[in-house]
Structures are given as C-alpha cells and as structure tokens.
Structure 1
Amino acid sequence: MKALFIGGTGTISTAISSQLIQNGCELYLLNRGNRNNLLPDGAKELKADINDEQAVAALIKGLSFDVVADFIAFVPSQLERDYRLFKDKTRQFIFISSASAYQKPLSDYCITEGTPLANPYWAYSRNKIACEEFLLRLYRDKGFPITIVRPSHTYDERSIPLGVHGSKGSWPVAKRMLEGKPVIIHGDGTSLWTMTHSSDFARAFIGLMGNIHALGETVQITSDETVTWNQIYESIATALGVKLNAVHVASDFLAACGMLIGVDYGGALLGDKANSVVFNNAKLKRFVPGFTATVRFDEGIRQTVDFILSHPEYQTDDPEFDAWCDKVVVAQQQALKAVFG
C-alpha cells in the first residue's frame, strides 16, 4: 500500500505511521518538519506547509496514492484545498472528524454513527460537522472516494488524558497529584467516558485503509471500555503512586471560570467531556473483522505515566493554571461557608 498522511506526528497519526511502516507500507508524511524526531524510520518526508497549495502541488507532481489521510483539517476550506490537490491522486481520502460532533445533549446514551450531529457549545465540533457535510457532498456529486473517521478521547504515552487541564497540557495536574494538592474533577465524576489507546486506534484505522467497504462511509473508532471520570483520575493517581485528593466542581461553573485563563471549558466540557458517552462499535467491527481494543485504561495509563516521569521534556509547568485551580477550590469552599454560616 502507498499512503500519504498530512500531519503524521500527532497522538493518533504517530501510532498509525509506526504500525504502517512495520507492515511494509510505502508511507509519505507531508508536514513542516518541526517534529522530525517523531517520524518513524522508513517514512518518506515531504517537507512543506499544507497551506502552501502551490508548493504542495509541485511536491506531489507525478505521485499518486492508494490512501491520503488529512489529520490536521478543521474547517471546510482546508478540505476544498485537499480536493483540488488530491482528487485525481488517490483511491481513498480519509478525514479525521471528531466524536464531539455528536448531539449535545444526547437523545440516547448509546452512540452509533447514526446518532445526530449537533453541538451548540463548541465551534470546533460544528466546524468538523461542516467538514463532514462538505465531503459527503463531494462523494455524492463527484464520486470523491471519502471515508470519515470519528475518534473520541485517544491518548498515547506523551500526554495524560484528563477532563480539566490548562493550555500547557496535563503535567500540571499530575504534579498536583504528586504534591497532594486538590485536583479538580468536573461534575460529580460519575459520568461515563471512553478512553482509547493510540495503538488500538491505529490497528482499527489501518483496517479501514484501502477497504472498499469504507468508501462513502463514516466510522467511529473507540475502545469498548467505559469508565467514569472518578475511575480515570483514580487510575492516574494509582499509576503515580499517590492518594487522590479530588474536588468535584460543577462543569458550568468551570466553564465560566475557564475564561480567566483563556481555556474554553464551555466547549471542552459542556460540549464534550461533561456528557456521558457509550459507543457502539459494531460498524467498525463489521468493516474490520476481528478488531478488538485490547489496552485497558488502567494498564495504558501506567505506560503513559512511566514514560512522562522518565522524560522531563514532557513535564511543562503551568503556574497560571496551578493558581487557578487553587482559586476555584477556595471559591467553592467559601460558597459552602456562606450557605452554612
């Protein structure tokens, strides 16, 4: 198989790239070359900014692919560009959408690809919906061979997956755990969530590549494991070897307070993580027979924590977020004192 990835060094795409190389795929990665240390040995780099359409057209002149996948398209105009570049150069174009595009609030707790798309809380999700609609029109009207993939919360060894963190990533929350400080969990922590390890996602994604049954289709890729946010944070604390000091804070209150540090919890929480989600992956398993996600969250998070603790370059402090957490916790305590006198 001959494939081109636009991006290729993110949480999802890095795992896919590595597995494809191991499978003998002829893989091209189109990116700006800023994260060359993450490129798998054997991949062929096409160094360019995808937004420089003329430069990219020159790079791919004379090339054609079995699969082109764009991991960094977020608005329809970017897909309009992709169509111009690849309409005659690929047998399959894969777009990475998002499970956050599903309706909020849900009308049914169990999510399938037929669940309606609507997210009034998050522009990111609405843009992904618009991208899907654009591609489906291309498929219907022009026969462009698209496949739409909807991931949910996918993680790898480089970042601890959380519900509430600052703009500099998840390490500051882990650091608070290690220091015994209060750690904020949105809501009461009992809402249901699904975490998917990138290695599991990669195996499913590769099963869709070059798959004739996936053309014109939308497929979600998640683990079948369902966990609560309390279980997620407890698993992280256990992996760190500490006792969790959890403080539960209402999601809408966090959404309002997030503006103080420039974080959109209105989208990330109210439009995504504050909602209970359970995914039905029957369609994926029909297209990729035998696929099962095998990395249980408590096992996967141990690998992540071990990696981050041994790699200081992934331990980025965020004093602003740390102070914000303390401020939110104190505000909630003061509110309780005001009520009870």
Structure 2
Amino acid sequence: MKPMRKKILVTGADGFIGSHLTEKLVRIGYEVRPFVYYNSFNSWGWLDTVPREIKDNLDVFSGDVRDPYGVKEAMKGCSHVLNLAALIAIPYSYHSPDTYVDTNIKGTLNVVQAARELGIQKVVHTSTSEVYGTAQYVPIDESHPLQGQSPYSATKIAADQLALSFYRSFETPVSIIRPFNTYGPRQSARAVIPTIIGQLANGQKSIQLGAISPTRDFNYVKDTVDGFISVLDHDQSLGEVINIGSNYEVSIGETAQMIANIMNVDLEIVTDEQRLRPEKSEVERLWADNQKAKKLLGWEPLYGGKEGFKRGLTETIAWFSNPQNVSSYKTDVYNI
C-alpha cells in the first residue's frame, strides 16, 4: 500500500522499537517528527546510529511526554501520532512506581488530550502483553481479562483505558496496538534475550538468569514495526485493541538453549535471586492469538513459529556480536 503523505509524530522514537519504526516510516515515504527525551547531551538515543540518509529526513523534537505543553507543541503540524513513549522495565517499577504513573498514564493523557484539541487524524497508542498477566487461557485474545501483576503493567492498563475513553467520550480517533515480547537489535540489556546473548558473547559458560520456566510469545522487531504501520494505515483499527504476536510459545529456558545452539556454545544456567520477580508478580505464561490482526489488518508475522524465531534470534545475535553495536552496553552487570 503506497502511503498518503502524512506527517507522523513518533513519541519514544529514541528507544528500541521507536527507532526501528522511525527508520522504516522514513524509508517508505512518510514525513516523520521523532519525539525524543530531552537531555543535556543532545542525544537522540538509537536514532544517533541510523544512516545519514535517514537522519537528514528527520524533524527531531526534544522534550518530555510528561509535559503537556511540550507534547502539544510537538504535535502541531502533524496528522498522526504513534505513541511509544513509556517506562517499561518491570524491576524498576517495583521501587519507583510514581515515575511510571507520571510517564505512562499522565504522558498518555497529554498525548490524547493534545490530539483531541488539535484534531489529529489518528493516535496509535502502544500497549503491552504484560497487561494480561499470567494467561487464564491460551492463546490470549483481546477479550482476555486484564491483570496488573506489576506497577508497570498496572500503569499500562490505566493508559490503555484512558486512551480508549477519549475514543468513546470525544470520538478521538484512537487505536491500541498490543505487542507481545518484542526482541531484536538495539533492545535494552535489561531484557532477557540480550542478557543471554551478552553473557555468552563475553565467554561465560555459566549464565545468570531469573526464572526460566515462564513462557513468552517473542515477536521480532521487524514484525512489530510492520504491525504499527498496519494499524496506522487501516481505519478498521479505530477504537480497537489489536494483539501483535507470533502465535508461538516458548519458555525462557528453551530460548536460552536455542541461543546457545545458534552461537555453538555450551550452556549452564544459574539462578540469580535478584533477577526473580516476586512470586505473584511473575507472568508465567504468554501466548498471543493474532487472528484479529490478520483479519482486520492483513498483518501476520514473517518471523512466526519456531523456525521464524530461530531466524530472528540469528539476526539478533549477529547484531549483538558486533562490538561497535554494543560498546555502550553493560553486559557484565544486572541491568534493571
């Protein structure tokens, strides 16, 4: 589908998924204004690493999603908003929950309120599979009950409902995209797949992990990005919550062994107590039903199933094996 000429504001564009999404939007012909977190270094996060031909086509706005005036200013002149700005680290949410309320809930309010006032054509708000908590049935469809098993997931449930309330109360054109566990190049070292790769790449035969029995539905970042663009482009997504997942369930332990096999190294897993979530907070099982995305959007994962997961892991390992890519990572410590 050839995109209409739109100017897209991408909040959280300096992060893992946001940077990949920003890059893809530019490549397929959109005008993009990346909203990056203001800092005194004038760092654009991962956007600092994208090719020059991408950077030259970016209208970067530095600000803070918690500031309603800055959010509204950033949105002026844009037709669509992709809202990815959020605090996402679950362990950090245990000891600093107030920051999650400010960023995830109030930040979302700032986005949808500005969109309402400015007449934005569409807001795609980013949810997370963590809002489902441990699966009560599988695969998990969009009607599954919501369970806040961490302060992070509780704030994302609130943010989702707030965004949908603007659609129902004021007809603000909002869609909710709910990606399952996205992985790939540029992911934070706090996430489990980079944690495994980083320790093995450093020559550690015995790697430290938290619980290895929980299962996840890992979604390669290219598939997640394509999901965002599909939600953006399809009017059928308005007022809807849409899962973006691979429909493949795998345990953390199996994932670690698959990575070790691809890297051709031996593996021993040691439980690190500080990496364990509180018992009732651990999400034991996630497995996405992606039929709604297929039906409404025509989206389906290119990296689905076991073989697709292996391909995604291979590409991810190749990226993390390049010393230049991981020069700023701290793979020898526990990252929360």
TM class by smaller structure = 0.7 to 0.9
Deviation at 1:171, TM superposition (A): 5.8
Q: Distance in 1 between matches of 2:299 and 2:201?
A: 39
Structure 1 pair 305/103, CA: closer, same or farther in 2 (3 Å)?
closer
Aligned pairs for 1:156-175 within 5 A: 156-159=184-187, 172-175=198-201
Partner of 2:309: 297
Structure 1 pair 193/5, CA: closer, same or farther in 2 (3 Å)?
same
Aligned pairs for 1:42-57 within 5 A: 42-57=57-72
Structure 1 pair 192/7, CA: closer, same or farther in 2 (3 Å)?
closer
- C-alpha contact 1:194 1:223 (8 A) present in aligned 2: yes
Q: Determine which structure has more spread, i.e. the larger CA radius of gyration.
A: 1
Aligned pairs for 1:1-341 within 5 A: 1-31=6-36, 32=38, 33-34=42-43, 35=45, 36-38=47-49, 40-41=54-55, 42-61=57-76, 63-65=77-79, 67-73=80-86, 74-87=103-116, 88-104=118-134, 106-119=135-148, 121-159=149-187, 172-175=198-201, 178-184=203-209, 186-187=211-212, 189=213, 191-247=214-270, 249=271, 257-258=273-274, 265-266=277-278, 270-272=281-283, 275-289=284-298, 291-294=300-303, 296-312=308-324, 314=326, 316-317=329-330, 321=334
- C-alpha contact 2:199 2:332 (8 A) present in aligned 1: no
| Residue type of the alignment partner of 1:186 | A
| Residue type of the alignment partner of 2:320 | I
- C-alpha contact 1:14 1:38 (8 A) present in aligned 2: no
Q: Distance in 2 between matches of 1:311 and 1:52?
A: 37
Does the residue aligned with 2:205 lie in a helix, a strand or coil?
Answer: coil
Structure 1: which 5+ runs fail to align? 323-341
Q: Distance in 2 between matches of 1:77 and 1:49?
A: 11
Structure 2: which 5+ runs fail to align? 1-5, 87-102
Q: Distance in 2 between matches of 1:161 and 1:197?
A: 16
Normalising to structure 2: TM-score of the pair? 0.78
1:49-76 Cα distance to aligned partner (Å, 9 max, x none): 3334334444544x131x2011114532
Tell me how many residue pairs correspond in the alignment.
299
CA RMSD of aligned residues (A): 2.9
Does the residue aligned with 1:15 lie in a helix, a strand or coil?
Answer: helix
- C-alpha contact 2:320 2:326 (8 A) present in aligned 1: yes
Q: Distance in 2 between matches of 1:92 and 1:170?
A: 38
Normalising to structure 1: TM-score of the pair? 0.77
1:180-200 Cα distance to aligned partner (Å, 9 max, x none): 22544624x4x5321111111
Deviation at 1:313, TM superposition (A): 5.3
Deviation at 1:91, TM superposition (A): 1.0
- C-alpha contact 1:76 1:127 (8 A) present in aligned 2: yes
Structure 1 pair 172/203, CA: closer, same or farther in 2 (3 Å)?
closer
Structure 1 pair 2/302, CA: closer, same or farther in 2 (3 Å)?
same
- C-alpha contact 1:171 1:314 (8 A) present in aligned 2: no
Q: Distance in 1 between matches of 2:197 and 2:218?
A: 18
Q: Distance in 1 between matches of 2:26 and 2:246?
A: 23
